[in-house]
Structure 1
């Protein structure tokens, strides 16, 4: 069994917990890596949040509380009680109007990680909760738990050496969705490059009704997301002018996400090409497959004594990891995993 802790019982947590239950019931999630550990071996044994509507409730109930908007796909059988985590910077700006802060005293996170023998702690906090993300990373270090940072907070650069010293993996930053706008956008640029097209400029706009989209209306959070997304996409080809980032919040969309992409380039004789794309997806489920893989990878790396942030893993799963010209990251990852056997 892989014992997992979750920091932040939001929309991604809701989709992941349902995804874990789905595979336990015999459901299949396409695209998963073939690893020694199976998805059905994942068990969420700890959950932490700061919202009064979630703290103190069973995880199976808390994942459907507001402001979560992910739909119910399966009946979840998990009686873990959501514990009160530290607030730190988790209530800044718009979040103070979204979250109903729990009155309970925060638990000692390193202690509860050890008590619950947590193998892997997932950081699913919102964009901009940097102090809280750092606290959970430090707690994982103290407890010896692997840490997966799905948020854009810059954790790998700050803590990689510390995790490497104790032989525990730290995977991050900023999760790439299975079929999100950023993944599709960069994939098209890769395709054009393979066909000899010089991509000159590109932009991406995302619209959704989730809390994460709402809070990125704040300029400083928007710039944080835009910087990471734009850097990730532009790394596919030199000299590409890229602007990418969430642009607006539409409440009735709920977990639905609409992504618009425009890509312009040149090919033979300076001829111009322009691609306009609209993609509609569901935000929560987009995180399920990569997280199921990452949890199992984190456990595998921990057992093998591989500490820190292996680039072969992080460059494939995260937007915020320094990639350079990464090429076919899936092939690089597969080759790396073969070497671990």
Structure 2
């Protein structure tokens, strides 16, 4: 059994909780690794948030509480844990101050809770830009002897990798790649074009969604942070092409749906132009489910073998902004598969 704590009970948490329930009913989750630890062996034993609409509620109720917009896919019957009050720190700055209704309860002692519940893995699902809060939970995990998965753009794996390695605890990050989102699709198409001898000159990506994450990313500093990470990730698989990628707008009625538009321009043959226009429509939070299920189980397997730190093969395969980058998606895949073969 892998015992998990969730930090931030937003849309991704809502999708993840439902996916674990989905697995416990015997249904298949597409795109996950075949590991000795199965998805139905994941148990969510602690959850933290700062919104008074969620704090004090059962997790199965909190995941469908505003401002969450994830659809209900399955009835949650196996989880009655109560969402606890975490520290706010920078989790409510800027536009978040008008979205979050901050709980008046006193924050709990996070380290004590992690120890009391014998947590194996913490998943950080805080909003983009909550850098101090992400660092706090990373340090709490270190103190409690717990592995850490950083789904956010906050530089946790980069800055805390050595500390986790010293404690033989895995830390994965930063900024989770979607299973089949705009960024990985965009990079994959560019890599395919390169393999066919196309010289990619320029490309851009626009993402539109109706989630809270899309709304807060309208703030210039958060938008620049996300745009920088996405653009750098895609650019790393090109040879000097001009790349611009990032969330551009919030459309409330889209809710958890995300629409990504990509345009790729280049030359081939004797120098004639090629242009590819793509429209990709996905469910944003569901895109995190399969990668997170893999990462939770990999964390546990690595902990059992006493392997800690920011494992580069995991980080550059599953994240947009890892401490070290692979030269290509294929190289990342090969490196990760080699790690798996040694691990299993």
Query: Which residue of structure 1 lines up, in the alignment, with residue 339 of structure 2?
Result: 336
SS at the partner of 1:294?
Answer: helix
Taking the aligned partners of 1:304 and 1:267, their CA distance within structure 2 comes to: 48
Aligned residues: 341
Query: Which residue of structure 1 lines up, in the alignment, with residue 110 of structure 2?
Result: 109
Deviation of 1:330 (Å): 2.5
Q: Aligned runs of 1:112-261 on 2, under 5 Å? A: 112-261=113-262
Query: Which residue of structure 1 lines up, in the alignment, with residue 272 of structure 2?
Result: 271
- CA deviation vs aligned residue, 1:191-241 (integer Å, no higher than 9, x gap): 101101111110000000000000000000000000100000111112011
- CA deviation vs aligned residue, 1:170-208 (integer Å, no higher than 9, x gap): 000000000100111011011101101111110000000
Query: Which residue of structure 2 lines up, in the alignment, with residue 325 of structure 1?
Result: 327
Q: TM-score, normalised by structure 2?
A: 0.98
Question: How large is the RMSD of aligned CA atoms in angstroms?
Answer: 0.8
Maintained 8 Å contact 2:191/2:328: no
SS at the partner of 1:94?
Answer: helix
Maintained 8 Å contact 1:4/1:118: yes
Deviation of 1:324 (Å): 4.1
Taking the aligned partners of 2:151 and 2:244, their CA distance within structure 1 comes to: 22
- CA deviation vs aligned residue, 1:229-283 (integer Å, no higher than 9, x gap): 0000111112011100000000011001110000011111111111001111101
Taking the aligned partners of 2:290 and 2:241, their CA distance within structure 1 comes to: 29
Q: TM-score, normalised by structure 1?
A: 0.99
Query: Which residue of structure 1 lines up, in the alignment, with residue 308 of structure 2?
Result: 307
Taking the aligned partners of 2:335 and 2:311, their CA distance within structure 1 comes to: 11
- CA deviation vs aligned residue, 1:132-169 (integer Å, no higher than 9, x gap): 00000000000010000000001111100000001000
Maintained 8 Å contact 1:217/1:247: yes
Query: Which residue of structure 1 lines up, in the alignment, with residue 58 of structure 2?
Result: 58
Deviation of 1:331 (Å): 2.8
Taking the aligned partners of 1:200 and 1:45, their CA distance within structure 2 comes to: 49
Taking the aligned partners of 2:111 and 2:198, their CA distance within structure 1 comes to: 51
Maintained 8 Å contact 1:237/1:325: no
Maintained 8 Å contact 2:7/2:47: yes
- CA deviation vs aligned residue, 1:281-337 (integer Å, no higher than 9, x gap): 101111100000000001111111111011111101000113141341223212111
Displaced runs of 4 or more, over 6 A: none
Query: Which residue of structure 2 lines up, in the alignment, with residue 44 of structure 1?
Result: 44
Deviation of 1:106 (Å): 0.3
Structure 1 residue ranges without an equivalent (≥5): none
Taking the aligned partners of 2:98 and 2:142, their CA distance within structure 1 comes to: 32
Maintained 8 Å contact 1:264/1:274: yes
Taking the aligned partners of 1:177 and 1:209, their CA distance within structure 2 comes to: 17
Maintained 8 Å contact 1:228/1:319: yes
Taking the aligned partners of 1:37 and 1:147, their CA distance within structure 2 comes to: 18
- CA deviation vs aligned residue, 1:39-70 (integer Å, no higher than 9, x gap): 11000000000000000000000000000000
